C-alpha cells in the first residue's frame, strides 16, 4: 500500500545513488547505435539514462540479455562505450600539451583513481601511458571533495611517437575504483595526437649513427 507514495522518491534515490561521475570537459564517450549493437538495448537505456553508472552494474544488466555480445562489448574498456558512436568528439592534442579536464563527481564513493592513455585498437584498451594523474584516495566520503579531484590538468606524453596519430587509436581514460561499494567507473575521451618533433627528426634518433 505504500507503493504509490514511495515510488517517486525511490526512483529519485535510485538515480542519485547510481550517479557517480563522468568527464564533462572535454566531451567524453556517449552511448549510440554501436553501443546498442555490442552491449544490448538494456545497457544502452542504462547509460542513456545515467552515464555515470558503474561497470559492475552494467555487468548485471547485460547478463543473459540476448542482444549482449561480450566479445565486442568489452565493459572494462570505456564501459563498453564505442569510438564509432563518438567520431564527432575526437579531440586534437600535441605532445606536451597541458589539457584541462573536468570530472564531475556526482556521488562520492571512497576509492582510488588514475588517468591513463589507452590504445583503443586492442580488445581491452591496453594502457600505453599511465598515471598522468593519480589519486591514492579519491572521492572520499569522509571529507568534501578537493577541487583537484574534479578540476585538474594532464600533460600529454611525449613518449608515444605516432601511436595516437590519427583518430580511432587512443583515448584518455579515467579509472576510478571504489572497493568501499565494489564499484568501478570509467570515462573516456577520444583524441588524436601527431608524433612529436616531426620537424626535428634528429632529436628522436632518426638518422643517428650516420652523424653521431
Ligand atoms: C570544479 O569547478 C566547477 C566550476 O568550473 C565547480 O562547480 C566545482 O565545484 C569545482 N569542483 C570542486 C571540487 O571544487
Ligand atoms: C589505473 O587505470 C587502469 C585503467 O585505465 C587500471 O587498469 C589500473 O588498475 C589502474 N591502476 C591503479 C593503481 O588503480
Task: Spell out the alpha helix ranges (H) of the chain.
Answer: 3-17, 33-39, 41-49, 55-62, 70-73
Specify whether the CB–CB gap between 37 and 84 falls below 8 A: no
111: β partners: 138
As given in the structure block, the three cell numbers for residue 21 are 561521475
Task: Determine the distance from the C-alpha atom of residue 122 to the mean position of all C-alpha atoms in its chain, rounded to a whole number.
Answer: 15
Instruction: Could you please state the CATH topology (level 3) that the domain comprising 7-193 is classified under.
Output: Coagulation Factor XIII; Chain A, domain 1 (2.70.50)
Q: What is the pLDDT of residue 199?
A: 52
Q: Which ligand 1 atom minimizes the distance to the CA of 146?
A: 13
Task: With CA atoms as reference, report the closest residue to 118 among 70, 163, 82, 153.
Answer: 163
Instruction: Give the number of whichever ligand sits closest to the CA of residue 151.
Output: 1
CA atoms of 175 and 101, how far apart (whole Å): 14
Q: Which ligand 1 atom minimizes the distance to the CA of 105?
A: 13
Instruction: Give the number of whichever ligand sits closest to the CA of residue 185.
Output: 2
CA atoms of 188 and 28, how far apart (whole Å): 5
- Spans of the chain, pLDDT less than 50: 1-17, 200-212
- For ligand 2, the distance from its centroid to the CA atom of residue 182, given in whole angstroms, is 15
CA atoms of 57 and 174, how far apart (whole Å): 18
As given in the structure block, the three cell numbers for residue 178 are 571504489
CA atoms of 190 and 27, how far apart (whole Å): 9
Backbone angles phi, psi at 126, to 5 degrees: -55, 130
Q: Where are the domains of the chain?
A: 7-193
The three-state secondary structure class of 139 is: coil
Q: What is the pLDDT of residue 123?
A: 97
Backbone angles phi, psi at 97, to 5 degrees: -70, 140
CA atoms of 19 and 94, how far apart (whole Å): 33
Ligand 2 near 173 CB (within 6 A): yes
Q: Give ligand 1 pocket residues (Cβ under 6 A).
A: 145, 147, 150-151
Specify whether the CB–CB gap between 116 and 177 falls below 8 A: no
pLDDT digits 0-9 by tens, 9-22: 344 344 444 568 89
pLDDT digits 0-9 by tens, 163-189: 999 999 999 999 999 998 999 999 999
| Cα torsion 107, 113, 115, 119: sign | negative
Q: What is the pLDDT of residue 3?
A: 40
Residues in the chain: 212
Q: Write the residue with the smallest CA distance to atom 3 of ligand 1.
A: 151
Q: What is the pLDDT of residue 11?
A: 41
Q: Write the residue with the smallest CA distance to atom 10 of ligand 1.
A: 147
Task: With CA atoms as reference, report the closest residue to 42 among 16, 66, 18, 15.
Answer: 66
Q: H helices then E strands: how many in the chain? A: 5, 8
CA atoms of 194 and 173, how far apart (whole Å): 19
For ligand 2, mutation pick of 23, 79, 114 (most atoms within 8 Å of CB): 114
Q: What is the pLDDT of residue 21?
A: 87
- For ligand 1, the distance from its centroid to the CA atom of residue 207, given in whole angstroms, is 48
For ligand 2, mutation pick of 74, 81, 116, 176 (most atoms within 8 Å of CB): 116
% of residues, the chain, pLDDT over 90: 82
- For ligand 1, the distance from its centroid to the CA atom of residue 105, given in whole angstroms, is 10
Amino acid at each position: 500500500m505504500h507503493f504509490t507514495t514511495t515510488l517517486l522518491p525511490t526512483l529519485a534515490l535510485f538515480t542519485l545513488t547510481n550517479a557517480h561521475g563522468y568527464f564533462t570537459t572535454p566531451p567524453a564517450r556517449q552511448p549510440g547505435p554501436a553501443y546498442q549493437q555490442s552491449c544490448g538495448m538494456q545497457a544502452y537505456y542504462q547509460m542513456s539514462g545515467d552515464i555515470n553508472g558503474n561497470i559492475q552494474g552494467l555487468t548485471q544488466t547485460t547478463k543473459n540479455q540476448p542482444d549482449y555480445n561480450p566479445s565486442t562489448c568489452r565493459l572494462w574498456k570505456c564501459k563498453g562505450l564505442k569510438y564509432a558512436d563518438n567520431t564527432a568528439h575526437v579531440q586534437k592534442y600535441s605532445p606536451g600539451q597541458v589539457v584541462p579536464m573536468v570530472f564531475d563527481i556526482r556521488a562520492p564513493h571512497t576509492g582510488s583513481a588514475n588517468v591513463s592513455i589507452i590504445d583503443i585498437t586492442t580488445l581491452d584498451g591496453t594502457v600505453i601511458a599511465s598515471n598522468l594523474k593519480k589519486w591514492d584516495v579519491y572521492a572520499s566520503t569522509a571529507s568534501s571533495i578537493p577541487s583537484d579531484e574534479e578540476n585538474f590538468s594532464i600533460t600529454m606524453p611525449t613518449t608515444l611517437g605516432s601511436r595516437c596519430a590519427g583518430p580511432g587509436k587512443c583515448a584518455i581514460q579515467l579509472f576510478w575504483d571504489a572497493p568501499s561499494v565494489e564499484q568501478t567507473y570509467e570515462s573516456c575521451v577520444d583524441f588524436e595526437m601527431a608524433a612529436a618533433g616531426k620537424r626535428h627528426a634528429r632529436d628522436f634518433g632518426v638518422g643517428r649513427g650516420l652523424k653521431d
